[in-house]
Amino acid sequence: MSEADIPLVVAGLRHTFDLGLTRPAAWRRSQLQGLRRMLVDRGPEFEVALYADLGKSGTEAQLTEIGFLIAEIDHALAHLAKWMRPTRVVAPLALQPASARVVPEPLGVALVIAPWNYPLMLLLSPAIGALAAGNAVVLKPSEVTPETSRAIALHLPDYVDRRAVAVVEGGVAETTVLLGERFDHIFYTGNGRVGRIIARAAAEHLTPITLELGGKSPAYIDETVNLADAAKRIVWGKFLNAGQTCVAPDYVLGRREVLARLAPRLADAIHELYGNAVQGNPDYGRIVNDAHFERLVSYLDAAGSGGGEIVVGGGRDAADRYIEPTVLAGVPREAPVMRDEIFGPILPLVEVADLDDALTFVNSRDKPLSAYVFSERAADRLRWERETSSGALTFGAPVLHLSVAGLPFGGVGESGQGAYHGERSFRIFSHEKAVLSKPLQPDTLGPTIMPPFTAAKEGLVRNWLGRLR
Ligand code: NAD
């Protein structure tokens, strides 16, 4: 599709929406079922594409992308009728007789812009919400993972209503053209720099946005937990997708002696999950491109000169874009690796004096997408809950909160705005319309709130106000 075609595509979707084709429950169901069928039929092709783009193993692709989406579709199909139902609210006595309800209605034409790290899941997961809510939708996959982008553009039109769903492939140029168009909601997942570009473009049309951004998600650990068990969970969350996960634990905070005991447990866990020869293990992914590879290697190169010490891993192979699961110990808080989100398989261990120091450190930085706490002390866990702010907080296990459909998935502050998954995905792409119905007779308004304001009416109003005070 050329850039010149993009406005025509968006106009076509708007025409479809205006005709009302996307509103019926049956249409919405058929789109969700179509997406589901595509994921099942074309699962092998998507696995191949994800492997080509990210070295993602088939099992990981099924767990974190394809299977995750199928579960989400099934949840939406099971609950759609309930979500679509108007909710009755009570009209105040003074307005009676009257009835009031909230009616969810589709917004119109939505735009979903996805990043490269879970290129299928992060494109289609918002799309499930948009279609369940009865919208037309433009899907813009990431150009950084071209094989997955191509597979989506190739297969999706065979399974959904082409009049209402379009895939626009491309990078900055195509996205810029898209952002010049008027949408009714823009759902963006990616980094905060582009998030600001999206917010500015959306402001032109007063388009509501959801921004799913990233940042440095901390993990905190103390001596009360079984370090081997905790290490295994941290290693899994960190090295999944070779560390290229928005909710991966970015770094670990703990007291010096705890971290000293944790480091060998992390090494054991890496060995347990990925074996001796990690590079040859098909379960371990690759860095998405050379630019990200070089960025990550610069953190490894800084080790030993103010960037901490490599205590586990450190190997790399540029030709294969492979970086070994790596742990850095004794990392200063101002080290380069502690500035931006790492987004790769490097785990810094950062010493804190105590819990207060850890809380102060986390609170001095941007609000993270998630925070992970490993502690058996209930009082300390409560302090994390009450004294820090993050998109999510989980105790004992990283990453998993996003698979709980009832939990909002999203950030706060620099890590994003708005949250989705489950019913929230439907609500994001719906307008909640207030509907009030009051019969013309009996006329209860003339004798109460309309001029002329006789002494009797004034008495009524003052009486009412008196009761409000
Ligand atoms: P990316 O480079 O694929 O960019 C994301 C999207 O923005 C792409 O579709 C791209 O085409 C588009 N884009 C890039 N530059 C643009 C521009 N100048 N104008 C308009 N559009 C533009 O992905 P990324 O940003 O590198 O993704 C990684 C970031 O995303 C990390 O910070 C990560 O934490 C975050 N992330 C967040 C979540 C979440 O759910 N909160 C999930 C995954 C990733």
Per-domain residue ranges of the chain: 3-213+419-431, 218-403, 439-468
**Ligand 1 pocket by Cβ (under 6 Å):** 113-117, 122, 140, 142-144, 171-172, 175-176, 189-191, 194, 197, 212-214, 246, 341, 343, 369, 411, 416
CB 202 within 8 A of CB 176: no
Q: Which residues contact 416 (CB under 8 A, 6 or more apart)?
A: 195, 210, 211, 212, 213, 369, 391, 410
| Residue segments in the chain with a per-residue pLDDT below the cut of 50 | none
Instruction: Give the pLDDT score at 40.
Output: 98
3-213+419-431 under CATH 3.40.605.10, yes or no: yes
pTM of this prediction? 0.97
Instruction: Give the pLDDT score at 103.
Output: 98
Options 1.10.10.10, 3.10.450.40, 3.40.309.10, 3.90.1010.10; CATH for 218-403 is 3.40.309.10
Q: Of the residues 140, 194, 217, 296, which should be mutated to test ligand 1's pocket, given the most ligand atoms within 8 Å of the CB?
A: 194
Q: Which residues contact 408 (CB under 8 A, 6 or more apart)?
A: 419, 420, 421, 424
Question: Distance between CA atoms of 384 and 388, rounded to whole angstroms?
Answer: 6
Instruction: Give the pLDDT score at 469.
Output: 82
Neighbour count for residue 67 (Cβ, 10 Å): 15
CB 154 within 8 A of CB 7: no
Give the active site residue among 47, 60, 72, 212: 212
Q: Which residues contact 143 (CB under 8 A, 6 or more apart)?
A: 149, 169, 170, 171
Helix, strand, coil fractions of the chain, as percent rounded to 5: 50, 15, 35
Closest ligand 1 atom to residue 341 Cα is 32
Instruction: Give the pLDDT score at 398.
Output: 97
Query: In this structure, what are the phi and psi dihedrals at residue 453, rounded to the nearest 5 degrees?
Result: -85, 90
